[in-house]
Structure 1
């Protein structure tokens, strides 16, 4: 009888632990590392084209600084997304981009998702989380009128870090972003610090 009770308690204990993974836990998990680096493949699926437009590059996400989004193919272009907004690097350094467009909204969204900022996301989306710490799915359904005009929904999957982000647009196009070989780190390199400080 004691063994039965012990196994029941263990079963219920494990079940309650499994159910304890919610938005606060996801935010804490994604926000744990000071720096995350990795590669990405972005596929833009347009209704008018038979094949997706594919771009590849690397990213650096710094909890205290923002996001460096470094496109390498099909063209080289560097972006920085931080609290001041979005900037693109040209021959003269970092140049601020206009704030009020769909691309700006999408980039801000990437930053919030990768940083695990669920409170920021909850202002604009209804969040539906399923799964557990090692394998979760998060669906974002837009609440604001502006975002409803752009997105039907956004689906995100991950484990310790974000694995994929799929943006389903109202006009039928979609963007799939795959994060590759993401690694947590404790500090920025000198070059990365310079890029954020510029």
Structure 2
């Protein structure tokens, strides 16, 4: 996830799909709210979600995508730990007010704090909202469209915030009880696909995971 978060944090697309919709703003907001209500019925609410991931990042000018895989933990009110195992081990810890990257040996390779980079707080909240499918926060950061059916749900997200829109063109989410796939399109033309594997709910963080957020 390091490449994804760094692109998102340091990640302009006018939401033309919505501009082409002739429905009044109030009607569009109601449609979006109805969708989120249906998605909420499917999502599993848990204090901790753990799983694995595979990520492909396509960069303009490169024929082959960059691939990585590993494991993650998303904890309410704490943040995200994204542990890359292949091709090289690294760990990214995203907290509400900071972002830290560590090498495989535990040495810190990057540190960003909201007090130095005020936009980081917004970006981290957006990333947490995407990974945890926090519907209240998603509605805050994005224009929402999509569909929900018995087999799962899909959401297309376009940034409301002009600052986010400078870096991030859109996000597409698919899921059921948990997020299954995240597709990110950056304004500069790069894109990422993150496939979530074996996601499961847990009641609390392990001691080792809790130590990552200290």
The TM-score bracket by the shorter chain reads: 0.7 to 0.9
Task: Give the alignment of 1:2-151 within 5 angstroms.
Answer: 22-27=35-40, 29-30=42-43, 32-89=45-102, 91=106, 96-97=111-112, 100=117, 108-132=125-149, 134-151=151-168
CA contact (8 A) 1:31 1:116 kept: no
Distance 2:164 2:188 in 1: 13
Between the two proteins, the alignment pairs up a number of residues equal to 178
Q: Secondary structure at the match of 1:39?
A: strand
Q: Distance in 2 between matches of 1:101 and 1:42?
A: 28
Q: Is 2:190 the counterpart of 1:166?
A: no
Does the Cα contact within 8 Å between 2:129 and 2:138 map onto a contact in 1?
yes
- Check the 8 A contact 1:41/1:55 in 2, yes or no: yes
- Matches of 1:171 and 1:95 in 2, distance apart? 23
For structure 2, which runs of at least 5 residues remain unmatched after alignment? 1-32
TM-score, normalised relative to structure 2: 0.72
> Is the Cα–Cα contact under 8 Å of residues 134 and 160 in structure 1 kept in the other structure?
no
Could you tell me how far 1:124 is from its partner in structure 2?
2.5
Gaps of 5+ in 1: 1-19
CA deviation map 1:135-173 (0-9, x unaligned)? 100110122222222222111100110000001122221
Task: Give distance in 2, aligned partners of 1:130 and 1:25.
Answer: 9
What secondary structure sits across from 2:188 in the alignment? coil
The match for 1:179 is 196
Task: Kindly indicate whether the alpha-carbon contact (under 8 Å) linking 2:52 and 2:71 is maintained by their aligned counterparts in 1.
Answer: yes
Instruction: Give RMSD over aligned pairs.
Output: 2.9
Aligned residue for 1:32, secondary structure, equals: coil
